[in-house]
Structure 1
Amino acid sequence: MSGYPDKPSGHVSGSVKGRRADAQRNRERILHAARELVHEPGELKLNAVAKACGIGQGTLYRHFPTREDLLAEVYRREMDELVAEAPRLLEIHPPLEALAAWFDRVAAYARVKRDVFAAVEAGTWRDLAAHSLGPIGEAVELLLAAGREAGSVRADAEARDVIVLISWLSRLDDAELDARGSRLLSILVDGLRARRP
């Protein structure tokens, strides 16, 4: 029967693969639209997200039954992308440059974090924050450890210190983040730099 695994091979028919690909594309479009719309003033409306994607509300609800489900996934996606960026940057830059480039990505993450946390209930954002602390701490430690090993990052730099300092970015509004974000992060990079005797 079309759409079901064929019995001995486990092969899935092309029509099911096509539907899965369509569903995945819809999911990506929903997340992209929600990420853009969460910055807009006022409460994020699911019908506005569906309209921005050109999909029906039923399709959106199949992926994300509630607004909080959608916003939580927007935040998780942003956090996952931020964490994945650390090893990628270390492959193409010396450690201190990788750290500085990663901090540039932190500024975008801070905007999404601020807007999502403002839009969800306190219990949800506390859960999201608790979940993200481990992976982000690991990404920071990866960058710091590479810098310590290369002698470009001070030996006493700890991931927790960096997280406390960069968490302040999510408290800034867009204008202040645009005006001060890069400078604040460059000051942080300078503070992490190993001092030459």
Structure 2
Amino acid sequence: MGQPEAGTSRKPRADSLRNRARLLAAAKEVFGEGGSGASLEEVARVAGVGIGTLYRHFSTRDALFEAVYRHEIDQLHDRSLTLSDEADPVEALRLWLRDGIAVIATKKGMLATLALAADGRQDLYAYSSDRMNASASALLERAAAAGAIREDITSEDLLRAMIGMCHNPDRAGWRTSALRLADVFVDGLRR
């Protein structure tokens, strides 16, 4: 009676879901500060779990990097939905762009390893590209429909600008510069 039927899967336990969320947050912090060489033991310590718990959720370093990356992309996508409902269209675009820069900032320590983990993984590139383009498109269309910005800017334009703003993430002060450029860019889109 207590056994799941054949072919069905059980829902993860609440403590398992909490541990996974803590591991993702800790990995974001640890890899963001220490780069790709940061230890998995440090991730487990910051999350407040044992290394065995980390390996039960993420069998390899690459699996953990990919999970953190996907989680960040999902959060940025969700943020675009929230901003669309709550903020002025131009301000929503500005805030989302700034949030995108923050995501890139946390990834600077993981970029080389992410590139290796994603090598040949078209599904990972497609996933992030689809989510980012959908977010950017929705925000741009809303602002253009309100007559607040130019109508000829595409989501690809916006994403290229964001990536360009984050050029040289290892230089001191790059993030402050990128945030200033985001404001200049959005101001330049206004009608």
Same fold (TM over 0.5): yes
Aligned with residue 67 of structure 1, among 48, 61, 83: 61
Where does residue 17 of structure 2 map in the other structure? Answer: 24
The higher relative CO (CA closer than 8 Å, separation ≥ 6) is in 2
SS in 1 for 2:148: coil
Deviating more after overlay: 35-44 vs 115-124:
115-124
Q: Any stretches of 5+ residues in structure 1 without a counterpart?
A: 11-15
- 2:157 and 2:115 map into 1 onto residues whose CA distance is 27
Would you say 1:138 and 2:131 are equivalent positions? no
Q: 1:118 pairs with 112, 115, 118, which one?
A: 112
Separation in structure 1 between the aligned mates of residue 19 and residue 140 of structure 2, nearest angstrom = 38
| Count of residues paired in the alignment | 185
TM-score, normalized by length of structure 2? 0.86
Residue number in structure 1 paired with 2:174? 177
CA RMSD of aligned residues (A): 2.4
Residues 86 and 102 of structure 1 are in contact (CA less than 8 Å); yes or no, is this contact kept in structure 2? yes
Cα offset, 1:129, TM superposition: 3.7
Shift of 1:58: 1.4
Relative distance call for 1:182 and 1:75 in structure 2 (3 A) is same
- In the TM superposition, structure 1's runs of 4+ consecutive aligned residues that sit over 4 Å from their partners are none
Larger radius of gyration: 1
Q: Would you say the 8 A contact 1:95–1:146 is kept in 2?
A: yes
CA shift at 1:170, angstroms? Answer: 5.9
Displacement of 1:52 in angstroms is: 1.8
Unpaired runs of 5+ in structure 2? none
- After superposition, give the CA deviation of every residue in 1:24-47 in whole Å (9 maximum; x if it has no partner): 011011111100000223502111
Q: Pick the aligned partner of 2:44 from 47, 50, 66.
A: 50
Query: Within the alignment, does 1:163 sit opposite 2:159 as a pair?
Result: yes
Checking the alignment, whether the CA contact within 8 Å between 2:32 and 2:107 is kept in structure 1 is no
CA distance in 1, matches of 2:167, 2:68: 15
Change (3 A) 1:142 1:121: closer
Aligned to 1:34: 27
SS at match of 2:98: helix
